[in-house]
Structure 1
Amino acid sequence: MSSLFLETLTLSHFRSHKKGAITCDGQPLAIFGPNGAGKTNILEAVSLFSPGRGLRRASAEDMARRPEALGWKLTGMLKSGGHTHEIDIRSDSGAARQVRIDQKASLQTALARITKVLWLIPTMDRLWIEGAEGRRRFLDRMTLSFFPDHAEATVSYEKSMRERNRLLKDQVSDPHWYIALERQMAESGHRIHDARMEALARLSTAQTAAQTAFPAAHLELIQLEGDMPNTAADLCGALADSRRRDMVAARSLVGPHRSDLHGVYKDKGIPARNCSTGEQKALLVSLILANARALLKDFGAPPLLLLDEVAAHLDANRRAALYDEICSLGAQAWMTGTERELFQTLGSRAQYLEVTEEGGISSILTPQ
């Protein structure tokens, strides 16, 4: 089994961290400290080692430490597949995020080819009871972990859709303005749908094959209206047929952006949205672990796991089971909690960090 973990992480003027440095040994990290100390900021920094806007979906400007607003910088040495990569991520005075891999300027999407990062944060606890957009984003993060090109297809689709929506709002009826955009939407849209379906199949296999203390979830991708066309050509035709209706709505009503992820607690046959808070949390943990197991099989190494306040809504037995599964996977999990005692059953299997804050500046300590 190959290893995937950060050997070092340094933060400069990132959120509440004016300066911070962490040296890692590949074990899980138990990060504890009071609320507001800056624990989640560390996890957010690690999340930026994958494509996208990070676990908070914040702008580069919002990540800069205040009041200096000088910009920020993250550097890390990433062990991946027997190679060590030097990664530099920065934003200068509110500018767009810049990525360098092994001292060469790179696109964010290049990160997906050398690292896999999954996360579970408290705002996701309401995933099953809020809007479809959050569930699509959750599914797309898992899909991206399997298929690095998924990010490019998503960007292409959204760009074409924005331009088409602009035409719809302006009540442009000439079909020649739509043809190229709809063809691009259809090609990238069907790639998105196919990748999502394959990701769900891999998650299902990973759940079925596992012995775990967490409940399995049956997942289904559904369309909010009608069915998803079978081919790119069919989707292109559906977009053309829907122009008049879309013009009334001033937005596109056909395509993978109209999909929703439906989840069911498999053993009980209860829709996830109707489960208890604890059951919903357990289902999310189960899916993250299934995603990690599938990646271990396909990628050859477990992903980095970011689990913020992971103990919330988990009883002591399930916490212990979670830690056992993480260690069995061999994953470098970055976990936060308010008290060290929450990680007691990890014992010597983890590295411990304490985060404190004074005067608006976070400090990272290695407790004895």
Structure 2
Amino acid sequence: MQLTRLALTDFRNYPALVWRPASRLVVITGPNGSGKTNLLEAVSLLVPGRGLRNARLPDLPRQAGPGRWGVAARFADGLEIGTGSPPDGPADRRVFRLDGEVPRSQAAIALRLAAVWLTPQMDRLFGEGASGRRRFLDRLVWALEPGHAREVAAHDTAMASRNRLLAQGGADPAWLAGLEDSMVRHAVAAAAARRALVARLNATLLDGAAGKFPAARMALLDPVAERLDTDPALAVEDWLRDSLAAARPRDAAAGSSSLGAHKADMALFDAATGLSAASASTGQQKALLLGVILGHAALIATARGAPPILLLDEPAVHLDSDRRHDLLEALATLPGTVLLTGTDADVFAPLVGRADGWRTGDNGLHQDPAFPRLSPV
């Protein structure tokens, strides 16, 4: 899954770019605001979802451009994926191409390509609300179970309709029951997928997949998943269906649903010391997250037979010199495409001769003279 060509058209700050990295390991440096994260975001949009920034479609086109955008990539095995505004039709839509054809579903793309990323915003993952941690967990699940995205989306659609009916008052009980039944089925399926991912990831991390980074233990905080620990899925569905029906007056007053897939949270601990990430220093949190990302990449490679694209935006921030060394050495031995960014090129000096080096600037991308050009794929 080595990226061999990336083409951008009116995407973020790039009016037009054709880039051919010569190595699976790529270092991208440059000043803040020069487009480093935009490149990683473009690659993250090759898989279904809203990318590493969780951006809205109107934010993706170049501000001075025509309002349409495109991203296209080719990989060493011949795989070609493109996404962007449709050539004909509303500019606020997004379409995909897989090997030049319209895919039957976005899941067809997710089955061919997986991407995992870590961004500076995730450094605050354990100091903010549960929604960010839940999105982080769901991205880990989606990379292995593409159908999980449909379950979560269907749950949220049914929940939004239920919330509207409750807010209006006097809704037909049978209509509410139908929406709650949809919520229940999708919530239990989502909880089961999250629960399975946490178990598989913890086992992989315990086997040393994080390398020299601390082995993390992930915990799923979700009453639906907890019920699945002891009860069969149909019994959990019955419990959740009854609970939602009983909660209608309370949920109507609150304007939201008190139970469902949207209430799940995630916690992370150092497996050796038991230290919670929420109580750890910023550097310790970063080390635990990097361990999770490396372990997840190993899990994907084992489960799918191909490694994911690994996108690390400013990964060296908050790491001491020993941890930075461990990270670079680990990345140098990983299979698959790894793109990492930073403002200080000196941080990545140990990768000279092993990585392709580029610098952003003037809305373009230029070979970094500090990194000798490697033989192309």
Common topology (TM > 0.5): yes
After TM superposition, give the deviation of residue 98 of structure 1 in Å. Answer: 0.9
Contact kept? 1:132, 1:260, Cα under 8 Å = yes
Distance 1:187 1:84 in 2: 39
Distance 1:161 1:172 in 2: 17
> 2:45 is matched by which residue type in structure 1?
L
**Cα deviation 1:237-292 (Å, max 9, x = unaligned):** 22222222212212111112111112222222222111001001111111101101
* 4+ residue segments displaced more than 6 Å: none
Q: Secondary structure at the match of 1:105?
A: coil
The one of 133, 143, 146 equivalent to 1:145 is 143
Partner of 1:96: 93
Equivalenced residues, count: 358
Q: Secondary structure at the match of 1:270?
A: coil
The one of 330, 343, 347 equivalent to 1:342 is 347
After TM superposition, give the deviation of residue 175 of structure 1 in Å. Answer: 1.4
After TM superposition, give the deviation of residue 328 of structure 1 in Å. Answer: 2.4
1:217 equivalenced with 2:216 (yes/no): yes
After TM superposition, give the deviation of residue 327 of structure 1 in Å. Answer: 2.8
1:329 equivalenced with 2:334 (yes/no): yes
The one of 121, 124, 134 equivalent to 1:123 is 121
After TM superposition, give the deviation of residue 224 of structure 1 in Å. Answer: 7.4
**Which is strand-richer, 1 or 2?**
1
> 1:215 is matched by which residue type in structure 2?
P
1:8 equivalenced with 2:5 (yes/no): yes
Comparing 236-245 with 204-213, greater Cα deviation is found at 236-245
After TM superposition, give the deviation of residue 339 of structure 1 in Å. Answer: 2.3
Distance 2:224 2:185 in 1: 20
RMSD: 1.9
Q: Secondary structure at the match of 2:123?
A: helix
- Unaligned segments of structure 2, at least 5 residues: 370-377
1:363 equivalenced with 2:360 (yes/no): no
Contact kept? 1:44, 1:54, Cα under 8 Å = yes
Q: Secondary structure at the match of 2:353?
A: helix
The one of 12, 25, 30 equivalent to 2:27 is 30
1:50 equivalenced with 2:47 (yes/no): yes
Contact kept? 1:27, 1:349, Cα under 8 Å = no
Distance 1:233 1:224 in 2: 14
Distance 2:147 2:204 in 1: 22
Aligned residues with identical type, % of pairs: 36
The one of 74, 79, 85 equivalent to 1:85 is 79
Partner of 1:162: 160
- TM-score, structure 2 as length reference: 0.90
Contact kept? 1:73, 1:90, Cα under 8 Å = yes
**Cα deviation 1:167-215 (Å, max 9, x = unaligned):** 1111234311112211111111111000001110111011111162211
**Cα deviation 1:100-128 (Å, max 9, x = unaligned):** 11222234333211101001000110001
- Unaligned segments of structure 1, at least 5 residues: none
Q: Secondary structure at the match of 1:207?
A: helix
Distance 1:155 1:104 in 2: 25
Contact kept? 1:169, 1:251, Cα under 8 Å = no
Contact kept? 2:47, 2:115, Cα under 8 Å = yes
Q: Secondary structure at the match of 1:348?
A: coil
Distance 1:163 1:283 in 2: 38
Partner of 2:176: 178
